[in-house]
Amino acid sequence: MQRPTLIPLLALAGALSAPAWAQSDPMKQAQGLFKPLPTQPPAVPGNPASPAKVALGKMLYFDPRLSESHAISCNSCHMVGMGGVDLQETSLGHRWQRGGRNAPTVYNAVFDVAQFWDGRAKDLEQQAGGPLVNPIEMDATEKHVVEQLKGIPGYAPLFAKAFPGGEAITFENVRRAIALFEATLITPNAPFDRYLRGDARALDARQAQGLALFIGKGCAGCHNGINVGGGQYAPFGVVERPGAEILPPGDKGRFAVTRTVSDEYVFRVPSLRNVALTPPYFHSGKVWDLRQAVAVMGNSQLGAKLTDAEVDQITAFLGSLTGNQPQVTLPILPPSVATTPQPKP
């Protein structure tokens, strides 16, 4: 198991001790720490894109018949048109069951170092298999997903076109197609992206002050790179562990993956892109107000008691991370026929 990278504050220190000219130029400093999102979906290694595959992935993403109840699709918890989330503390899944963690957005997830709050899936392809067979999410089995899709005749030609040659309707191909569709869910051209590309006026005065604080106070030590986060792991509570009402003691995060004591309460640093659209916050989903989340971070991660004005400025900066939301046309799904496996309640 790969060891998590703990808080590369050193990297930040490096950026801060950059040549004097860089420090005096906030834009150059930001350009050294963050990267703008591309305007086109990135290539997914080992999963070559084709229009047929992306179109199929989109259908599967929206098709509730992949769940045992035929009532839940990926989109039920990661709603396209609503920031890629469900706006729930923790998600409602099969038979009205609640999961243990807040659903992160699927937008820009392709740029993260690993998937899930604890990084237990290495990429989108591996991730996509999880919820389908999770008893409190979609509650299917790998075998049932394949049977179900084979029982909907319209899918056969779509799979054959997306995966030419050989057996096309397989669980692996389901994961691949979905992952490729998810890679198209990116949100380019946020004000902050325009700023990083050289437009100093893309941020208003408060956002610019917020950016300076975000870097100066040390937030960017963890939330950096293309996704302003998503690139490393860190404990929730580096300086001061938040109370049980925000960090319930039962969920030890990455410890469950690595079984290493130093990984207790370690989580993947979340991306902050579109964060203004995705309350509630933290893996527990316990904080609904972004300003409160910022203040909690100041205390827990940096031991910094931020003033109300500082919290407001940082929150304003986080608002500049909202990009163009993906425009997704709802797919028309192939119809069920008399022999299609029926939903189980």
Feature table: binding site for heme c: 74, 77-78, 94, 219, 222-223, 297
Work out how close the CB of 295 gets to ligand HEC at its nearest, in angstroms, rounded to a whole number.
8
Q: Which is nearer to ligand HEC, 75 or 340 (CB)?
A: 75
Burial 33-46 (b: 16+ CB within 10 A, else e): bbebbeeebeebee
Q: Which is nearer to ligand HEC, 21 or 253 (CB)?
A: 253
**Pattern 254-293, binding to ligand HEC, x per CB under 6 A?**
-------------x-xx-x--x--x--xxx---------x
Q: Is 85 in the site for ligand HEC (CB under 6 A)?
A: no
Which residues, at least 6 apart from 303, have a Cβ–Cβ distance to it below 8 Å? 239, 240
Instruction: Please name the residue that has the structure tokens 């991730």.
Output: 127
Rounded CA separation 34/194 (Å): 12
Q: Is 56 in the site for ligand HEC (CB under 6 A)?
A: no
Q: Are 235 and 9 in contact (CB under 8 A)?
A: no
- DSSP characters for 232-259? -EEES-SSSPPPTTTS-TT--BTHHHH-
Q: Which is nearer to ligand HEC, 112 or 263 (CB)?
A: 112
Choosing from 137, 172, 240, 310, which is the catalytic residue?
Answer: 137
Q: What dihedral do alpha carbons 56, 59, 64, 65 form, nearest 10°?
A: -40
Roughly what angle, to the nearest 10 degrees, separates helices 308-319 and 290-302? Answer: 110
Q: Are 265 and 247 in contact (CB under 8 A)?
A: yes
Q: Is 323 in the site for ligand HEC (CB under 6 A)?
A: no
Segment interacting with ligand HEC, rule: CB under 6 A, options 22-30, 105-113, 158-166, 188-196: 105-113
Q: Is 123 in the site for ligand HEC (CB under 6 A)?
A: no
Instruction: Identify the residue among 4, 104, 323, 334 touching ligand HEC (CB under 6 A).
Output: 104
The residues in 183-222 that bind ligand HEC, with binding defined as CB under 6 A, are 217-219, 221-222
Q: Is 173 in the site for ligand HEC (CB under 6 A)?
A: no
Rounded CA separation 179/175 (Å): 6
Amino acid at 22: A
Q: Which is nearer to ligand HEC, 177 or 202 (CB)?
A: 177
Closest CA to 41 of 29, 31, 51: 51
Instruction: Identify the residue among 4, 83, 93, 334 touching ligand HEC (CB under 6 A).
Output: 93
Query: Is residue 309 classed as helix, strand or coil in its secondary structure?
Result: helix
Please confirm, yes or no, whether 137 is among the known catalytic residues. yes
Segment interacting with ligand HEC, rule: CB under 6 A, options 33-41, 185-193, 298-306, 325-333: 298-306
Continuous H helices in 134-204: 142-150, 155-162, 171-182, 191-196
Q: Is 298 in the site for ligand HEC (CB under 6 A)?
A: yes
Instruction: Identify the residue among 138, 140, 146, 203 touching ligand HEC (CB under 6 A).
Output: 138
Q: Which is nearer to ligand HEC, 169 or 234 (CB)?
A: 234
Closest CA to 219 of 283, 284, 286, 306: 306
Binding stretches for ligand HEC (CB under 6 A): 7, 72, 74, 76-78, 91, 93, 99, 101, 103-104, 106, 109, 112, 115-117, 124, 127-128, 131-132, 137-138, 178, 217-219, 221-223, 234, 236, 238, 267, 269-270, 272, 275, 278, 281-283, 293-294, 297-298, 301-302, 314
Catalytic residues: 137
